[in-house]
Structure 1
Amino acid sequence: MKKLTLLFTCALLVALTATAFAADSSWNRVKAAGKLVIGLDDAFPPMGYRDANGKLIGFDVDAAETVGKRLGITIEWQPTAWDGVIHSLNAKKFDCIWNGMTITPERAKEVAFTKPYVMDGQVAIVRFTEKRFKGIKDLKNVKVGAQKGSSALSAVKKLPTAPTELKEYEDNPKALLDLEAGRIDVVVIDNVTGRDFIAKRPGQFKILPGFISKEPFGVAFRKEDKALRAKVQKTLDQMVKDGTMAKISRKWFAEDITNPKKW
């Protein structure tokens, strides 16, 4: 009797598991439609933004388009207001959010993220010819620039010592102009934003090794769309392994920032 009960229990668990997977038709739905609809803020360089001709370009755009090709589907981009992007996802206006979205505990309560595909965060930019600083630990008693209202201001508090001067700027380009002119020693800035500036102006600035604070990026899906998330994750894992993500990263950031071993 105990064996029969055990067999019945096992059979029931298998049936329930099969039903659960069958109920998640998210990948089959996307596959049948032949497209993955992605929500994004299309004014976030270098992750996703418009060029002079209005074409959508960027790191996330290239990565997602490559995933689409490997899965045999097209990518349809759906620009949306960022302050309501999670609500729009859960309202099924698109299939996922792929736009340099930071993984946070608060967001993880509402959506299901992939593993981080880029480690973002706050970094320190110095002049390319700067020899005083080898790493963040060397940034002691320096003049620092940061954008007003940004998370860079919180990161400044994590420097080895308080800056001798903290200048707040309306935008990062103005801070970098002061850095270039020698009026400040370092600019604390978002990693991907800083690397975008460096890639566009090679030989002018450099980023010191390491992060002042870390903010991982992930692709966000509705919690119930487990099959779709797993399909995209598997493809991203393959792209990291075969060097495709590294190639895309070097195109936009002049180096590979997608390798988890370097985070």
Structure 2
Amino acid sequence: MSRTLGGLARVVVAAAISLASAGCGMSVLRHTPTILDKDELIVAVKPDQPGLGLRTKQGTFEGFDVDVATYVARHLGKKVTFIATTSEGREAKLNSGEADMVVATYSISPPRKMQVTFAGPYYLSQQDILVRSGTTNIGDVRDLAGRKLCEAQGSISTSRIIEGRGVAAVLVPAPTYSECVDLLRSGAVDAVSTGDLILAGFAARDKGAYTIVHAPFTEERYGIALRHGDVAGCEAVNRAITAMYQTGTAPKLLRKHFGATGLSISTSVPQFEGCA
């Protein structure tokens, strides 16, 4: 009798341990950090890119990236607050918890996917070249050989020229693309190369000062970055991006910010990268 009771007790204890372990596992899954658990999202955007992310004199932010982030947050039923970031500081903003999302012309790449989880892309930009108006000796990426090309910190655009295309441009570093454009204006560099949306914004701001070469040579897949591993949040953001295009909101926003630039704008839903 005692052996039977002892065996039953062991079975009960084992079952309790099994249930507790399962419960712990479920708890871990339930509490994986995700933007879906938040009532308000802190979104990092650029403060100095006209048409995309620009801080106004009143301290607010405006531009296509800002509108995209606002749409996504509202689609998820969240409030949104914006903070500024540079290209170099995007991963740090997420990893430190200072930002929940980054919407800042953040090109998706394999090395970056090791650090953050990308939803989207929300837009497929094409990399092009910006020169001073009147420049006649730069017509495509090959003409950048031996020319002074500005390199914004934290950007991968120049590596696509130097390493990807084997073009031996002379790199001149600058903290941001805004400062790259200042160097272009002063003659300190011969060209700035990155996504055409960024270039179009600067060309529209300073009408007549710059010309886009219109010789695109790579794609810039702009993604919405979340903390690494937030798959549930990523999938929800992808659904929001899809809705943004299907309702005609994305094309409307693109025309609002870039319709007057003469840029050829893509208005179809981009093919997503996948959240895993």
Q: What interval of TM-score do these two structures reach, taking the shorter chain for normalisation?
A: 0.5 to 0.7
Q: How many residues align?
A: 235
The residue that corresponds to 1:246 in the other structure is: 251
User: CA separation in 1, counterparts of 2:224 and 2:270?
Assistant: 20
Paired residues of 2:47 and 2:61 also in contact (CA < 8 A): yes
Q: What is the alpha-carbon distance in structure 2 between the residues aligned to residue 117 and residue 72 of structure 1?
A: 19
Q: Percent identity?
A: 22
Larger Rg: 2
For structure 1, list consecutive stretches of 5 or more residues without a partner in the other structure.
Answer: 1-14, 179-183
C-alpha distance in 2, partners of 1:194/1:69? 29
Aligned 1:1-263 pairs, distance under 5 A: 19=26, 22-24=30-32, 26=34, 28-30=36-38, 33=39, 35-79=40-84, 83-120=88-125, 122-125=127-130, 136=140, 146-147=149-150, 154=159, 157=162, 171-175=180-184, 187-191=191-195, 192-201=197-206, 205-211=211-217, 213-254=218-259, 255=263, 256-257=265-266, 259=268
**Taking structure 1 as reference, are residues 68 and 25 closer, same or farther at Cα in structure 2, changes over 3 Å only?**
same
TM-score, with length taken from structure 1: 0.66
| Amino acid paired to 1:175 | L
The 1-side partners of 2:49 and 2:125 are apart by 14
Q: Which deviates more, 56-65 or 191-200? A: 191-200
**What is the TM-score of this pair, normalised by structure 2?**
0.63
SS of 1:227's equivalent? helix
Let me know the Cα RMSD of the aligned residues.
4.3
Task: Tell me the SS of whatever aligns to 2:193.
Answer: strand
Distance 1:200 1:21, change over 3 A: same
Report the AA paired with residue 39 of structure 1.
Answer: A
Amino acid at match of 1:205: T
Seen in structure 2, the aligned counterparts of structure 1 residues 160 and 140 have a Cα distance that, compared at 3 Å, is farther
Aligned residue for 1:9? Answer: none
Deviation at 1:90, TM superposition (A): 3.0
SS of the residue 1:117 aligns to:
strand
Structure 2 gap ranges (5+): 1-21, 175-179, 272-276
